[in-house]
Amino acid sequence: MTPSPFSPQRRACLRAGLASALPGLTGLLAARPALAKEWPTKPVRLVLAIGPGSTADTLARMLAPRLEARWKQPVIVENKPGASGAVGTEYVVRATDEHTLLLGTQSSLLPRYTQKGLRFDPLADLVPVRKVLHYQFVIAANAETTRQARTLRDLVAQSKASDKGLFFAGTGPGSLFNLSFAILNKQLGMRYTAVDFSSVPAMNMALMRGDAQFLVNIPASIKGQIDTGAIVALAAISPQRYPGLPDVPTLKEAVGYTGYLPQPWSGIFVPKGTAAAVVDRIASDVAAVFEDDGFRRQVETSLAAAFVSPSSPAAFARDIREETGLWQELFKSLNIQPE
């Protein structure tokens, strides 16, 4: 019979060691709620990987004072655009102070599949905290273009009739705007060239100047121009028409489109290594802010065709896993390679 590797003396030592460790272990477990209660201990930076004037920027500046009231610390909105979202995202990934958050979108994650030489892995180096809003997209053209192409079907035909096609206003090959249209165009079959600009406002201005004929954007970003007729929304990238744009047909209604419909969102992330208690605290406080019906309606009204998303850290992480898997398959089918 094989003797036990633990002698009575050894077992006694182990029991004594465990007894001495238990107070420390108990203290460590108790520290988690204490950490959440004490956080934040200094100003919080809410970073956007996109320039000022975007819909996400508007959301951040509406959200910041509400979070300041709960956290009793300044919440500083910082815009760090560049490289289709990679610059601002890397800035957050490298932060180690547990007080730097990212208000990100799909564009924060997609560089993993669209950019060569990326110095970080957004899926591994960011922790999803909470999805905040779902947005909706439209395909829109400037007024000059719609004098000849009054519908999306007309726009597709016009692009095919031109040797050079049309110019699409975007913000970079890896941006959600450019990638979304590349996916849609698998069925639409438009002939076009993407012209990329440094920010969403610059992209919108280029469309109105005639430097490009059409774009994909969030309705709130161009609502003023839609209202004046300077920009015309031709199709809603959605299964249903938008309540704020009831006369704009869906893609299926406009051209019979039956493929994947990109749906943009905004969500909060923190760097890998942030304490779980801090993640839970941020998620809980953001949820509490949106429990105010008045504030939620204000956000959804101000950011037309945007809807507050029910979420949690676990649900947001699950959504991202499912969505990035779908994008990967779409990129393969479209032969979109890292550049």
**Residue 310 has what pLDDT?**
86
Looking at residue 34, its pLDDT comes to 53
pLDDT at residue 142, rounded to an integer:
98
User: What does the DSSP 8-state code read for residue 249?
Assistant: P
Could you tell me if 130 and 159 are in contact, meaning their C-beta atoms sit under 8 angstroms apart?
A: no
**In the β-sheet with 137-142, what is the strand arrangement from edge to edge?**
192-196, 166-170, 214-217, 137-142, 231-237
**Arithmetic mean of pLDDT, 11-38:** 52
Predicted pLDDT of residue 35: 57
Ordered strands of the 44-48 beta sheet: 75-79, 44-48, 100-104, 265-271, 126-135, 306-308
Identify the band that residue 31 occupies on the pLDDT scale cut at 50, 70 and 90: very low
Most confident residue range from 12-16, 212-216, 291-295: 212-216
248 vs 108, more confident: 248
The answer to whether 276 and 98 are in contact (CB under 8 A) is no
For residues 154-160, average pLDDT:
97
Which amino acid does the sequence have at 333?
Answer: S
The residue ranges of DSSP E strands in 171-311, in sequence order, are: 192-196, 214-217, 231-237, 265-271, 306-308
Identify which of 136, 130, 138, 127 has the alpha carbon closest to the alpha carbon of residue 63. 130
Q: Please state, in angstroms and as integers, the Cα–Cα distance from residue 326 to each residue in 41, 146, 209, 306, 318, following that order.
A: 39, 33, 36, 22, 13
- Whether 223 shows a pLDDT value over 60: the answer reads yes
Residue pair 130/207 in contact (Cβ under 8 Å)? The answer is no
Residue closest to 45 by CA, chosen among 21, 79, 11: 79
Mean predicted confidence (pLDDT) in 87-91: 94
Q: What's the length of the chain?
A: 339
| CA separation for the pair 276, 93 (Å, rounded) | 16
Residue 69 has pLDDT above 80, yes or no: yes
Angle at 80 between CA 326 and CA 123, to 5 degrees: 30
Domain boundaries, given as residue ranges, for the chain: 42-134+263-334, 137-255
Structure tokens that stand for 96 in this block: 């180690």
When comparing pLDDT for 41 and 200, which is higher? Answer: 41
- Name the burial class of residue 243, with classes exposed (0-12), middle (13-18) and buried (19+) by CB atoms within 10 angstroms of its CB: exposed
Class of domain 42-134+263-334: alpha beta
How far, in Å, CA of 68 to CA of 44, rounded? 9
Round the average pLDDT of the chain to a whole number and report it. 88
> What band does 14 get if pLDDT is binned at 50, 70 and 90?
very low
What is the pTM (predicted TM-score) of this model? 0.76
> Which residues touch 3 (CB under 8 Å, ≥6 apart)?
none
Checking if the pLDDT of 43 tops 70, the result is: yes
- Better-scored residue on pLDDT, 240 or 1: 240
Is the Cβ–Cβ distance between 106 and 316 less than 8 Å? Answer: no
Same fold, 42-134+263-334 and 137-255: yes
* CATH superfamily name and code, 137-255: Periplasmic binding protein-like II (3.40.190.10)
